[in-house]
Amino acid sequence: MSQSFTEENYLKAIYKLSRRSDKGVSTNALAERMETKASSVTDMLKKLAAKKLVNYEKYQGVTLSKKGQQIAVDIIRKHRLWEVFLLEHLGFSGEEVHQVAEELEHINSETLIDRLDKFLGYPKYDPHGGPIPDSKGVFPEPKRVKLDELEVGRKTKVMGITEHSDAFLSHLKKLGLELGTNFHLKERFDFDRSVEIELNGKTVQLSYDVAKNIFVSHNS
Amino acid sequence: MSQSFTEENYLKAIYKLSRRSDKGVSTNALAERMETKASSVTDMLKKLAAKKLVNYEKYQGVTLSKKGQQIAVDIIRKHRLWEVFLLEHLGFSGEEVHQVAEELEHINSETLIDRLDKFLGYPKYDPHGGPIPDSKGVFPEPKRVKLDELEVGRKTKVMGITEHSDAFLSHLKKLGLELGTNFHLKERFDFDRSVEIELNGKTVQLSYDVAKNIFVSHNS
DNA sequence: ATCTATTTTTAGACTTATCTAAATATTAGT
DNA sequence: ACTAATATTTAGATAAGTCTAAAAATAGAT
């Protein structure tokens, strides 16, 4: 069975919205995410339910079926692999990436995506730190952690960020932090959860708001 | 203005069918190419005409407008650039390439395609010898060479002739060779410099006197 | 427990791209 | 030039995805 782009986008949206609340996803939440009307969502949910891609009961919200989840995860795999390609090989940066990957993720060829995966060296994380599931839909063990959770004393490395505003990016740049930058976590101050790190011999302070948006490696 | 995938495919089909007959393209030819019905084609032609992408008059066939041609050429650019990527970087071969490129060609991002072009080293021809137009829609000058100098094994095309006698012209006609005819150079016989070519499934012998008077494409 | 506000669904309509079947125009053969 | 064959267009229907407006269900406040 095959899905339209629209159906795939609904499945992906349901997947993402399900992550942070193990209740079913509400029609309105989905409508907002999809930038459409609640009535349109209801129509689509009926269609997806008929295809057994979601579990849907009137007024009760929706969850993904096994099949629906597989499809959603596969789209995420494609999206993230394309992001790696765009960022690491085509020199994309910032916002453009996401927009283009949104289109590329719907290209429908197992061969293509497996070869792309190989070309990229079987990456386990995208440049924003998002884990990339393998061709069977299995996510890698996360051996990354947000900087606000790392133990004091560790030597570590920037693996990704979870905030992509220009303001944040330029702030990081000024601090000397970018993807792959190695540094040492010296101290954490409990009263505001800010941290002190050392990179390239310089000591730098990072607020909690900065630290919580930085993924760092947690090697063993 | 923006086009749907379907509209883009129609424009591309009209472009391709226009290449081989400078009359307008017939509804039926288009229907066959698009694997659809003539009535559907008529509907679409009206739509494209309303958008000023084609010149269409009832029963008179269709041609591309300037705008329509730009779009068609841009799709061909994208298609061929993706083919280069798939073949040279992802290790694709043969038929799969075309199918996947058919999907990729509709991805809609100037930035993406310009960066891909750069990544690939601004190729002028795809791996099948198809010329790749630049970002302004300009095709590269086709390099020409006399058939007696072409390397054995090449797929090529008649680009011109240097002898214009009736005798020569009618000889070519009988052999099935005319301007634009595609063929494959199978073998060259050293003792008389004659060549063996294959066109439309037929194997044909050409003497050196014939071969030296035919310009063929040499898409390096 | 009831009434109100919110959420969700239904009903009916629109658009895009398609189809079949019937009508009309063009072309070719004599 | 006329008819037969072919090509093309029209008319009316269908399916996907969307919308607005109205009805129905659920949740919240007292």
pLDDT for A20 equals 65
Q: For chain A, what is the mean pLDDT?
A: 92
Q: Do residues B76 and B106 make contact, with C-beta atoms less than 8 angstroms apart?
A: no
Tell me the two tokens of residue B3.
């086009």
Cross-strand partners of A157: A182
Tell me the two tokens of residue B152.
């054995």
- Tell me which chain A residues have a C-beta less than 8 angstroms from the C-beta of B96: 109, 111
pLDDT for B101 equals 96
Q: Residue B35 CA to D1 C1' — how many Å?
A: 38
- Asked whether residue A21 carries a pLDDT value surpassing 80, the answer given is no
Q: Is the CB of A27 under 7 A from strand C?
A: yes
Mind telling me how many Å the CA of B55 is from chain A's nearest CA? 31
> Which domains are seen in chain A, by residue range?
5-64 (1.10.10.10), 145-217 (2.30.30.90)
Secondary element (H or E) of residue A204: strand A202-206
Q: Which residues 135-174 in chain A have a CB closer than 7 A to strand C?
A: none
End-to-end CA distance of chain A: 42
Helical pair B5-19 and B66-88, crossing angle rounded to 10 deg: 100
pLDDT (tens digit per residue) in A65-106: 999 999 999 999 999 999 999 999 999 987 789 999 999 999
Q: Do residues B172 and B178 make contact, with C-beta atoms less than 8 angstroms apart?
A: yes
- Tell me which chain A residues have a C-beta less than 8 angstroms from the C-beta of B99: 109
Rounded CA-CA distance A13/A10 in Å is 5
Lowest mean pLDDT among A152-156, B28-32, B101-105, B185-189: A152-156
3-state secondary structure chain B: CCCCHHHHHHHHHHHHHHHCCCCCECHHHHHHHHCCCHHHHHHHHHHHHHCCCEEECCCCCEEECHHHHHHHHHHHHHHHHHHHHHHHCCCCCCHHHHHHHHHHCCCCCHHHHHHHHHHCCCCCECCCCCECCCCCCCCCCCCEEEHHHCCCCCEEEEEEECCCCHHHHHHHHHHCCCCCCEEEEEEEECCCCEEEEEECCEEEEECHHHHCCEEEECCC
Mind telling me how many Å the CA of B126 is from chain A's nearest CA? 18
Within 10 angstroms of residue A187's Cβ, the number of other Cβ atoms is 13
Rounded CA-CA distance A81/B206 in Å is 51
pLDDT (tens digit per residue) in A101-136: 999 999 989 999 999 999 999 999 888 778 999 999
Cross-strand partners of B185: B197
Nucleotide nearest to B61 (CA to C1'): D8
pLDDT for A220 equals 40
Show which residues on chain A lie within 8 Å of chain B, measured between beta carbons. 86, 89-92, 96, 99-100, 103-104, 107-109, 111-112, 115-116, 118-119
Rounded CA-CA distance B199/B204 in Å is 8
Which residue of B95, B100, B110, B122 to mutate against A (max A Cβ within 10 Å)?
B100
Rounded CA-CA distance A70/A64 in Å is 9
Query: Which bases of chain D come closer than 7 Å to a protein CB?
Result: 7-12, 16-22, 25-26
Lowest mean pLDDT among A122-131, A197-206, B189-198: A122-131
Which residue in chain B is spatially nearest to A107 when comparing CA positions? B103
Amino acid at B155: K
pLDDT for A179 equals 87
Which residue in chain B is spatially nearest to A117 when comparing CA positions? B90
Q: CA nearest A129: which of A30, A220, A15, A213?
A: A213
- Asked whether residue B21 carries a pLDDT value surpassing 90, the answer given is no
Regarding an ipTM greater than 0.85, the answer is no
Mind telling me how many Å the CA of A147 is from chain B's nearest CA? 33
Q: What is the largest CA-CA distance in chain B?
A: 61
pLDDT (tens digit per residue) in B122-181: 999 887 768 899 999 999 987 878 999 898 998 898 888 888 788 998 999 999 998 788
What is the pLDDT averaged over residues B48-56? Answer: 96
> In angstroms, what CA-CA distances link B140 with A182, B69, B180?
47, 17, 16
pLDDT (tens digit per residue) in B64-122: 999 999 999 999 999 999 999 999 999 998 778 999 999 999 998 999 999 999 999 99
Q: Please, is A88 exposed, middle or buried when counting C-beta atoms within 10 Å of its C-beta (0-12, 13-18, 19+)?
A: middle
Q: How many CA atoms lie within 13 A of A14 on its CB side?
A: 32
Check A92 against B111: CB less than 8 A apart: yes
CA angle B126, A115, A74 (to 5 degrees): 125
